[in-house]
Structure 1
């Protein structure tokens, strides 16, 4: 099933993202499930963000995702990278904490902003004569998998509560995020529920991301290093390196490590594994971790 779905997703490489929708009729949306899905993120924000950051750095190895980031020249240094990806996380957080179904909400305006940025970069790359299509339906399928994939594939391993109901509703919420970002039903990996989304995310990991990590494009190291160095600016010490963050994620996914890891990076990996264990075992520690991440990402005056 997942193999056929991946073939279907790849057909989307010839299709542009759809026009930003004007959703006025909410009768098709199960509001209870929708709200429970975003509540799942709120209750687990620290580990959800960690999973998304790990997926992001691994995603730099996929050339059609990396090329637009290199083109914009907004994340090739640690300071620029920190601003770009802190803003990215703040956008994603806003979608879960505010109401994207309200057309006048900050969350809906944020989705439109992100949609417009994707469209602008695509048009600019075409204007500059860069070959190929960018931000296609297929590309957006990979992006969507990057945000939800690790969370739904390995919830307990990343320190999350793994109730099937909550995971189903989280995927349901992201079905509608995909809708607003211009992903059609054929390429929306969340359209058929949790199990299908998990299966296709595993297929993407095994057939696209993991092989790409073994043979990354030329700008991968520059962008990955800028990303982890940028994250370290938040705490004024080297919290992440590409090797430690990718090694940590591969260990949790039971995949063989690709890079040699230094002693310090082994310590960093151990630190994150202990953090995951504490979050899973201690509601007090989980509250502290969630509070720290909320203080950085949940912004009342987030200007975009």
Structure 2
């Protein structure tokens, strides 16, 4: 295959970007697909899963930032507000801890077996998308959860990994990047994204160029001039995930996010936020970057976030302290579902 020049890659990215924005807005997502696509490469997919687990902390952080960025897209935010599933800290806790569980299942379990936890999770998420699309249409919002919105959401999981891996201290080779791109192309396909719109369809550099186009033309303007409800929804998300990331607060997280995304610097108004921001920056720029430290601290940080997620799922004491004993009911239902999956 002839390798495209940088200019040609940029031109192709612009062309695909226009296609996504113009045509993708009028096409809904396909129903959950059962069969894997002909282009599926198991070796690449498994390497993508392995790369995630090697960089668990940093890629998890990239996804967290991506999740916040997605809230700046008005058409997506409208659906989230309409469905009322993240309109307060507890609702956000329920929604986003479930999101984390789903994504981790995709990264950890067999994609071939239609009865695996990964496939059952994809089926559940696909059902959520269909229900949200129907609710939005009935509410007069038109075609929502469309191909464009799905691609912009797909960006939230992979875009920053490809564009800002240095800012996030992600240790990754080109082969690893290709594997992660293939992983998310497959997940997108199974969730109903058509190949012509799929963000991860194409060579590594074509996908990176498209991500750069989406970042500069969609996310940067949206983050600099977000919808009116953006700050509230981000605040609910951050408060909702305090049981997993207790030190995060709105100001420090947004300043760190702006730094990662190379946006104009945000000011902090209190000492606590400054300490939290300095700590997160130190972790990324020193502990996970300096070669004489990273060999020790990358596994430590990976373990720390894995343990926080596991504790919240198995013994949600911090969540119960914050939101009340109703979280035990929520986790009991989730555990029953997980047992059925087994």
Correspondence for 1:12 = 24
Would you say 1:270 and 2:283 are equivalent positions? no
Give, in whole Å, the separation in 2 of the partners of 1:254 and 1:125. 34
SS of residue paired to 1:158: coil
Asked if the contact 1:156/1:162 (under 8 Å) is kept, the reply is no
Correspondence for 1:170 = 180
Give, in whole Å, the separation in 2 of the partners of 1:302 and 1:133. 34
Q: 1:279 aligns with which of 288, 294, 317?
A: 288
> What is the aligned-residue RMSD (CA, Å)?
2.0
SS of residue paired to 1:113: helix
Asked if the contact 1:152/1:194 (under 8 Å) is kept, the reply is no
User: TM (normalized to structure 2)?
Assistant: 0.82
User: After superposition, where does 1:115-126 map in structure 2 within 5 Å?
Assistant: 115-126=126-137
Asked if the contact 1:93/1:297 (under 8 Å) is kept, the reply is no
Deviation for aligned residue 1:27? 5.6
Deviation for aligned residue 1:132? 2.4
| Closer/same/farther in 2, CA of residues 5 and 302 from structure 1, 3 Å limit | farther
Correspondence for 2:208 = 198
Unpaired runs of at least 5, structure 1: none
Q: 1:80 aligns with which of 86, 91, 99?
A: 91
Correspondence for 2:168 = 158
Deviation for aligned residue 1:238? 4.2
Would you say 1:37 and 2:48 are equivalent positions? yes
Give, in whole Å, the separation in 1 of the partners of 2:140 and 2:219. 23
Asked if the contact 1:55/1:150 (under 8 Å) is kept, the reply is yes
Q: 2:110 aligns with which of 61, 79, 99?
A: 99
Give, in whole Å, the separation in 1 of the partners of 2:56 and 2:337. 21
Deviation for aligned residue 1:151? 0.9
Return 61-70 or 274-283, whichever deviates more: 274-283
Give, in whole Å, the separation in 2 of the partners of 1:80 and 1:302. 20
- Give CA deviations for 1:106-141 in whole Å, capped at 9, x if unaligned: 1000001001101001111222x3322210001001
Deviation for aligned residue 1:252? 2.3
Correspondence for 2:307 = 295
Correspondence for 1:226 = 236
Asked if the contact 2:185/2:200 (under 8 Å) is kept, the reply is yes
Deviation for aligned residue 1:223? 0.6
Give, in whole Å, the separation in 1 of the partners of 2:142 and 2:255. 32
Would you say 1:70 and 2:69 are equivalent positions? no
Give, in whole Å, the separation in 1 of the partners of 2:336 and 2:220. 35
SS of residue paired to 2:289: helix
Deviation for aligned residue 1:253? 3.0
Correspondence for 2:122 = 111
Correspondence for 2:8 = none
Asked if the contact 2:51/2:172 (under 8 Å) is kept, the reply is no
Give, in whole Å, the separation in 1 of the partners of 2:169 and 2:182. 21
User: TM (normalized to structure 1)?
Assistant: 0.92
| Closer/same/farther in 2, CA of residues 302 and 175 from structure 1, 3 Å limit | farther
Give, in whole Å, the separation in 1 of the partners of 2:157 and 2:244. 21
Give, in whole Å, the separation in 1 of the partners of 2:200 and 2:151. 9
Deviation for aligned residue 1:247? 2.0
Which has the bigger relative contact order, CA under 8 A and spacing at least 6?
Answer: 1
Deviation for aligned residue 1:55? 1.4
Correspondence for 2:318 = none
Give, in whole Å, the separation in 2 of the partners of 1:12 and 1:178. 14
Correspondence for 2:35 = 23
Give, in whole Å, the separation in 1 of the partners of 2:239 and 2:247. 7
Correspondence for 2:267 = 260
